[in-house]
C-alpha cells in the first residue's frame, strides 16, 4: 500500500519535490520539477490508504508549494518577455543613428576609405608620449609621437603603415604610452569614432555595427553633428 510520504521505493514524495522546486533559477529545471511534483501528487492521491488518508496539513503545504512553483515559472516567462520588449525598444531608439558618426568608449576603430579616427585624453601634462596603431593580431603597423598636453586630442590615421604601405580596411586599435618628467607612466583614456552602418541585438543588448566593430549601446559617448 502506498503511503502519504512515498509513491514507491526510492521515489521522493510530492512534498519533497515541491520543497526543492521553489529555489532553482534554471527554467528547464524548474519546469521539470513542476511536472514531477504534479505526477507524484496525483499518484499519491490515487493510491492513498483509505484508512490513513493524506494528512490535511501536509496536503495543504503541497498545494502551496505547487502554487509557488507555478508562479515562479510564470514570473520567469514574464521577465523574459519584458527583456525582449526592452531590447526591441532600445533597438528601435538606436535606428535613427544609422549613418551617423558616433564616439564610443573603445580603443578599436574601423579603417574605412583610408581613415580611422581615435581620441585620447591625458589627465596631466606628459614629458613624452608615443601612440601606436595595432592590427587585429596586435602587431604595431604605425607609430608616431603623441600630443603631451593635458586634455583631449583627436588622432585620425590615414592607413599608411610604418613600412610605407597602405593598410587594408579592417579593425585597428590605438595604444598610448606616456610618462611624466620623473618617468612615471600616465594612463590615457582612449575612445574611437566611426559611422554606424546598422543596429542589432547582441547578448541581449542593442548594439551598433560600426564598420565591423560591435559597439554596445552602453558604450555610446556622443553623437557627432550631422553633415546635412
Considering the domain boundaries, does residue 6 fall inside one? no
Residues 50 and 111 in one domain: no
47 and 137 in a single domain? The answer is no
Q: How many helices (H) and strands (E) does the chain have?
A: 3, 12
Q: Is the pLDDT of residue 126 over 80?
A: yes
- Residue 63: name the closest of 74, 71, 52 by CA: 71
Residue 85 shares a structural domain with residue 193: no
- Where a domain ends, among 79, 95, 111? 95
- Rounded distance, CA 215 to CA 129, Å? 28
The model's pTM is 0.60
The kind and range of the H/E element at 48 are: none
Same domain, 70 and 119: no
Residue 8 domain flag:
no
Q: Are residues 27 and 79 in the same domain?
A: yes
Is residue 3 a part of any domain in this protein?
no
Residue 211 placed within a domain: yes
In a domain, 49, yes or no: yes
**Statement to judge: residues 18 and 73 lie in one domain:** yes
Q: Give the end of a domain, one of 95, 111, 126.
A: 95
pLDDT digits (tens, 9 = 90+) for 34-88: 677 677 777 777 776 666 666 656 666 766 666 666 666 666 665 665 555 455 5
> CATH number of the domain that 172 lies in?
2.60.40.4070
The total number of structural domains in the chain stands at 2
Same-domain check for residues 88 and 111: no
Question: Of 95, 120, 153, which residue is a domain's last?
Answer: 95
What angle is formed at CA 79 by the lines to CA 202 and CA 18, rounded to 5 degrees? 125
Residues 51 and 102 in one domain: no
Query: How many Cβ atoms are within 10 Å of 104's Cβ, its own excluded?
Result: 22
Q: Residue 185 belongs to what domain range?
A: 98-223
Query: pLDDT for 148-185, tens place per residue?
Result: 999 999 999 999 999 889 999 999 999 999 999 999 99
Amino acid at each position: 500500500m502506498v503511503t502519504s510520504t512515498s509513491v514507491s521505493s526510492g521515489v521522493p514524495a510530492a512534498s519533497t519535490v515541491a520543497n526543492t522546486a521553489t529555489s532553482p533559477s534554471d527554467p528547464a529545471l524548474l519546469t521539470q520539477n513542476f511536472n514531477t511534483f504534479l505526477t507524484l501528487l496525483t499518484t499519491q492521491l490515487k493510491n492513498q490508504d483509505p484508512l490513513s488518508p493524506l494528512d490535511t496539513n501536509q496536503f495543504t503545504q503541497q498545494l502551496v508549494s505547487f502554487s509557488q512553483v507555478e508562479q515562479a515559472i510564470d514570473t520567469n516567462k514574464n521577465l523574459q518577455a519584458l527583456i525582449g520588449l526592452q531590447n526591441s525598444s532600445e533597438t528601435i531608439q538606436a535606428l535613427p543613428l544609422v549613418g551617423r558618426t558616433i564616439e564610443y568608449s573603445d580603443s578599436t576603430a574601423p579603417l574605412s576609405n583610408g581613415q580611422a579616427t581615435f581620441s585620447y585624453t591625458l589627465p596631466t601634462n606628459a614629458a613624452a608620449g608615443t601612440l601606436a596603431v595595432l592590427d587585429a593580431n596586435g602587431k604595431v603597423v604605425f607609430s608616431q609621437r603623441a600630443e603631451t598636453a593635458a586634455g583631449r586630442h583627436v588622432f585620425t590615421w590615414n592607413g599608411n603603415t610604418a613600412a610605407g604601405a597602405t593598410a587594408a580596411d579592417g579593425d585597428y586599435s590605438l595604444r598610448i604610452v606616456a610618462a611624466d618628467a620623473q618617468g612615471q607612466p600616465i594612463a590615457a583614456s582612449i575612445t574611437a569614432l566611426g559611422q554606424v552602418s546598422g543596429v542589432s541585438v547582441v547578448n541581449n543588448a542593442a548594439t551598433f555595427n560600426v564598420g565591423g566593430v560591435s559597439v554596445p549601446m552602453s558604450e555610446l559617448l556622443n553623437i557627432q553633428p550631422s553633415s546635412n
